[in-house]
Structure 1
Amino acid sequence: MKTKPITRYLYTAIFAAVLSAVLFAGCKKQPNVYKADVVIYGGTSAAVIAAVEVAQSGKSVIMVSPDAHLGGLTAGGLGWTDTGKKETIGGLARNFYHRVYNHYQQQEAWKWMKKEEYGNTGQGTPAIDGNMRTMWIFEPHIAEQVFEELVRENNIRLFRDEWLDREAGVEKSEGRITAFATLSGKKFEGKVFMDATYEGDLMASAGVSYHVGREGTDVYGEEWNGIQTGVYHHRHHFMVLDKPVDPYKIPGDASSGLLPRISPDPPGEKGKGDHRVQAYCFRVCMTNHPDNRIPFPKPEKYDSTQYELLVRIFDAGWREWFQKFDIIPNRKTDTNNHGPFSSDNIGMNYDYPEASYERRKEIINEHETYQKGLLWFVANDPRVPEEIQTEMQKWGLPKDEFIDNGHWPHQLYIREARRMKGKFIMTENELLKRTPTPESVGMGSYTIDSHNVQRYVTKEGHVHNEGDIGVGLPGPYEIAYGSLVPKKVECKNLLVPVCASASHIAFGSIRMEPVFMILGQSAAVAACMAIDEKIAVQDVEYEKLKKLLLEKGQVLTMADAIK
């Protein structure tokens, strides 16, 4: 029997409706799935440089940044670059500093001072190296401008303010990450992934081993790891004072309680490991130019009692308040911690590496309140020595920096969080040349450097800081490729150039921003090789990788140093 025309029309209509519904559903879902050869999680300097390298290597790349602003600390106030030996900085990292140099060759770049008035002082190297056409000292907004230019010039797909779903966002199959999702519902699929954040959230969510805190000296046979009571390497301790400082609210009366920001806990046994993390702070950009200066704001939750310990330090004769107002162009500073009580918020960050996003935000806000309050206190409290307060009142926040964040840095200095326990673990033994480093993919050269970790009361009833370490190196050192990749049994397609595989004390040197850029580029080159050869990142043939890195201007040993 023939089907009636109306029935045929009905069947056709139903089929069309079902097909349309399926296609429409697919269209609704598809825009939330994004694919690339390499997916990079992070907005740090390492993330940008890695993305540029992937793009220039001919692979597709997506940057998924939890940050709205690019460049991490390099664009977040750390303009007084921790270069170490600048001849070890090559490749795209050196190109970044060359671009900064080009900017400051323009007359209009010097808005608040004349170029010839700038002293050209850098950290162990001239700020402006005319022979090499590099500049190592710069304003925060100029660094961010350079990073934005790099992203734009290389047509990098960038998703800002996208936060990894740390609970259920990472998908793995047969030892490989296949995709990760963000809290907004977006999904990112790739062949190789990279965690270029300061926190290492993607690494941790992917099930890769890591460490938080200090290892004991016995773990890797080190001298400077673990608790370091009685060690005073810099001038960030109470031994620099003319007399000891009492820690109690009523001097001499332990029953009155401790002053704020002093731990009641004993420091622990020297050389033993602990959960503690070196102190964080904001690298505050300041200016003393009256036409660009905003007086230090008084934070909403200002509490002058938080700074009572500083008063006692001043009373003990300390006068080094302006020691780390390091000068950058246009009458500004990169202001860092200095002294027994300063911008380092000692002991207030131990839970940050593993904390939820909400808790991390609380910690960041507490650091901001503490540091803003500190600046307000020194500029306004009558107990501050007159000569310091008078000078401090000439300083303030620059109107032309961090303009969407109240002129306050948008990045807290996460000096250390998680550190991967990867295929190879860098220790002080490699840095101090006691043992060789295999398969170098870049070099570090900055002093082994840890900021203070805790503030406590001694048996004698005096306040002390602990954990500040500064150990000189015999020379620049190599960084192993194995420190950028997890153990193969844990993940075959992840690279980690920031939370790299290193002991606490070795990371104290590796953690410098130029090194992060170097490692970001090397990790990207390795990622592209793994894709081309359809192999795990751990199986990348080093001699091929080495050849490519040298062609791209990376410095792998001192034989390659740029002079």
Structure 2
Amino acid sequence: MIQNLKQLTILFLLGILLILGCKPGQQKNAVQADVIIYGGTSAAVTAAVECVRLDKSVVIVCPEKHLGGMTSSGLGFTDTGNKEVIGGLAREFYQRVYSHYQDKDAWTWQSKEQYGNKGQGTPAIDGDKRTMWIFEPHVAEQIFEDFVAENNIKVYRDKWLDRESGVVLEDKKIVSIRMLDGMTFSGKMFIDATYEGDLMAAAGIGYTVGRESNRAYNEQWNGVQTGVLHHGHHFGDLNISPYVVPGDADSGVLPRISTDPPGQKGQADQKVQAYCYRMCLTKVPENRIPFERPADYDSTQYELLVRLLDAGWDETFNKFDPIPNLKTDVNNHGPFSFDNIGMNYDYPQAGYERRAEILKEHQTYQKGLLYFYANDPRVPKEIQEEMQQWGLAKDEFTDTGNWPFQIYVREARRMKGDFVMTENEVLGKKRVPNSIGMGSYTMDSHNVQRYITPEGFVQNEGDIGVHPDKPYQIAMGSILPKENECHNLLVPVAVSSSHIAYGSIRMEPVFMILGQSAAIMADMAMNDNINLQELDYDLLKEALEDKGQIVEYTSFKRRNFVERN
């Protein structure tokens, strides 16, 4: 009798476990939602918010501890392009920035009147539309955190995708993804919102790294661009020697100059445009942290800068762009600056350990450059004295040593998707099918390599700036994998485009736009129980416009944007 009771008890407990569908201790490591978003970028947040507003369950799982990507990590001098094509949740974000700075308590180190109204291509503060395009990093991050809190979005931070075997697919659909700590996330739809395209790649989706040849898509500005000197980020005709002993090739080459040939103009390569950290600096003594000497500082890494300064180059501070409260968004400017040219080629496909090494090297280079400017006696006195007045902003990035938590990954993997955006679509030479949003910014690539010319001088290559005549549409197929690869994944950041087209698409407002559109597409596919590639575009367009998205330029004139309550 007792033996039978024991057997019945065991069977009862086993039955409960079967009903729960898990083993003891397993349930807490398994999360389910309608939509699983991997990545912590601005696109991730807008996608998640839109999912909630469409009554779909959603979680964000990301390696990052901070949300917002570059928008909240120093890129406060926003690359707006034509602001009239920024709609939906992206515009709501900038309206929230506006609301924040209407409060006099937001102005800690200067008054609103002292700030002025300088923006990039548009005034910083646009009172008619209640938008503000320029902001401090911590303000952007708080707005993203507010979005998450208001919509009760669960965020799993410091979670790293198992890129080797963590993606489970069945019948061309992702079923679940597993993190390195064993935690799994199951859903009906998945969104890869990373700059690197890690989930996309781990799911076996085809992608590209580097520059296509001009022949690949009949483009002009793709591939190697030797001899093309746009912007001012090149050595021009300064004729600076790359050799340790000027003019003597046998003496060796200075650091940070490649001895490899640059390649033929227009040909493909797998090199990646340079990255940098967008630093938030200030001159306010009470809020300034002086530039410290990095532990592995090496002044010889900046010998080329000495020659550049000796040649009379004096544009060091040209991209110390002002943001509120006497701070800056500092970007690369000139032939030798904060872009760490040629040191990131393996980053897009590298493992986590190697990526960490690349990030550390970039920090050492950039922090070392600041220290060099402020302390090396070879720097001209007037430049050095100016740099000594600057320092890291004490009230920004307070848990990462006042250094931005996100490096500017200007480009990594790019999906080979259902439709490939090229310069022909960006420049209006070809029609774009099924628009889900719009871009307008210059096709902008930073330098890719620093090499030695046949004449024996140093030169940079890869910096391109070509401006579209008008805003352009972005195709639905550019965020969709090919139908024979995956049916339930959307990729609004590592989008399907050529290198040079991505140079325009890669702006943060566009990522927010595409993140929201991705969520709307996921919602419609779930509601109709169809593959993403089967969506009815006419219905999708109606849904997008109902949410304030701009899918064609003329539609802006029919809309009157107001701040959401």
User: Which residue, out of 275, 278, 281, partners 1:283?
Assistant: 278
Q: Which residue identity lines up with residue 60 of structure 2 in the other structure?
A: M
User: Which residue, out of 32, 38, 42, partners 1:35?
Assistant: 32
Q: What is the CA-CA distance between 1:308 and the residue it aligns to?
A: 0.5
Q: What is the CA-CA distance between 1:251 and the residue it aligns to?
A: 1.2
Corresponding residue SS for 1:531: helix
Q: What is the CA-CA distance between 1:250 and the residue it aligns to?
A: 1.4
> In the alignment, is residue 345 of structure 1 matched against residue 340 of structure 2?
yes
User: Which residue, out of 498, 501, 504, partners 2:496?
Assistant: 501
User: Which residue, out of 442, 466, 478, partners 2:461?
Assistant: 466
Structure 2 residues not aligned, in runs of 5+: 561-565
TM-score of the two chains, using structure 1 as the length reference: 0.97
User: Which residue, out of 464, 473, 484, partners 1:489?
Assistant: 484
The residue number in structure 2 matching 1:515 is: 510
The residue number in structure 2 matching 1:369 is: 364
The residue number in structure 1 matching 2:325 is: 330
Q: Separation in 2 of the partners of 1:316 and 1:20?
A: 81
TM-score of the two chains, using structure 2 as the length reference: 0.97
> In the alignment, is residue 305 of structure 1 matched against residue 291 of structure 2?
no
The residue number in structure 2 matching 1:137 is: 134
The residue number in structure 2 matching 1:78 is: 75
Listed as ranges, the matches of 1:391-430 within 5 Å are 391-430=386-425
> In the alignment, is residue 15 of structure 1 matched against residue 8 of structure 2?
yes
Q: Which residue identity lines up with residue 334 of structure 1 in the other structure?
A: D
Q: Separation in 1 of the partners of 2:201 and 2:162?
A: 12
Q: Separation in 2 of the partners of 1:176 and 1:436?
A: 30
Q: Separation in 1 of the partners of 2:157 and 2:467?
A: 39
Q: What is the CA-CA distance between 1:20 and the residue it aligns to?
A: 3.7
Corresponding residue SS for 1:177: strand
> In the alignment, is residue 188 of structure 1 matched against residue 185 of structure 2?
yes
Q: Separation in 1 of the partners of 2:34 and 2:306?
A: 56
The residue number in structure 1 matching 2:535 is: 540
The residue number in structure 2 matching 1:528 is: 523
Structure 1 runs, 4 residues or longer, greater than 6 Å off:
none
Q: Separation in 1 of the partners of 2:216 and 2:12?
A: 62
Q: Separation in 2 of the partners of 1:249 and 1:404?
A: 40
The residue number in structure 1 matching 2:91 is: 94
Kindly tell me: are residues 18 and 258 of structure 1, through their superposed partners in 2, closer, same or farther at Cα, counting changes over 3 Å? farther
The residue number in structure 1 matching 2:203 is: 206
Q: What is the CA-CA distance between 1:261 and the residue it aligns to?
A: 0.4
Q: Separation in 2 of the partners of 1:537 and 1:301?
A: 50
Q: Separation in 2 of the partners of 1:267 and 1:388?
A: 32
Corresponding residue SS for 1:284: coil
> In the alignment, is residue 174 of structure 1 matched against residue 196 of structure 2?
no
> In the alignment, is residue 265 of structure 1 matched against residue 257 of structure 2?
no
Corresponding residue SS for 1:291: helix
Q: Separation in 1 of the partners of 2:247 and 2:116?
A: 47
Q: Separation in 1 of the partners of 2:74 and 2:269?
A: 30
Q: Separation in 1 of the partners of 2:123 and 2:15?
A: 64
What's the CA shift string for 1:56-109, capped at 9, x where partnerless?
000000111110000000000000000000000000000000001100000010
The residue number in structure 1 matching 2:429 is: 434
Q: Separation in 1 of the partners of 2:490 and 2:298?
A: 44
Q: Which residue identity lines up with residue 526 of structure 2 in the other structure?
A: I
Q: Separation in 2 of the partners of 1:238 and 1:21?
A: 73
Corresponding residue SS for 1:323: coil
The residue number in structure 2 matching 1:320 is: 315
Corresponding residue SS for 1:180: strand
Q: Separation in 2 of the partners of 1:280 and 1:184?
A: 29
Listed as ranges, the matches of 1:381-396 within 5 Å are 381-396=376-391
Q: Separation in 1 of the partners of 2:471 and 2:169?
A: 38
Q: Separation in 2 of the partners of 1:163 and 1:538?
A: 28
Q: Please report the RMSD computed on the Cα atoms of aligned residues, expressed in angstroms.
A: 1.0
Q: Separation in 2 of the partners of 1:63 and 1:338?
A: 35
Q: Separation in 1 of the partners of 2:362 and 2:140?
A: 23
Listed as ranges, the matches of 1:213-228 within 5 Å are 213-228=210-225
What's the CA shift string for 1:276-305, capped at 9, x where partnerless?
000000001100111100001211110000
Q: What is the CA-CA distance between 1:21 and the residue it aligns to?
A: 6.5
Corresponding residue SS for 1:443: strand
Q: Which residue identity lines up with residue 126 of structure 1 in the other structure?
A: P
Q: What is the CA-CA distance between 1:22 and the residue it aligns to?
A: 7.1
> In the alignment, is residue 59 of structure 1 matched against residue 56 of structure 2?
yes
Q: Which residue identity lines up with residue 312 of structure 1 in the other structure?
A: R
Q: Which residue identity lines up with residue 126 of structure 2 in the other structure?
A: D
Q: Which residue identity lines up with residue 195 of structure 2 in the other structure?
A: Y
- Greater shift in the superposed pair: 319-328 or 22-31: 22-31
Q: What is the CA-CA distance between 1:472 and the residue it aligns to?
A: 1.3
Q: Separation in 2 of the partners of 1:273 and 1:451?
A: 16
Give the % identical residues: 63
Corresponding residue SS for 2:120: coil
Q: Separation in 2 of the partners of 1:32 and 1:14?
A: 30
Q: What is the CA-CA distance between 1:19 and the residue it aligns to?
A: 4.1
Q: What is the CA-CA distance between 1:253 and the residue it aligns to?
A: 1.6
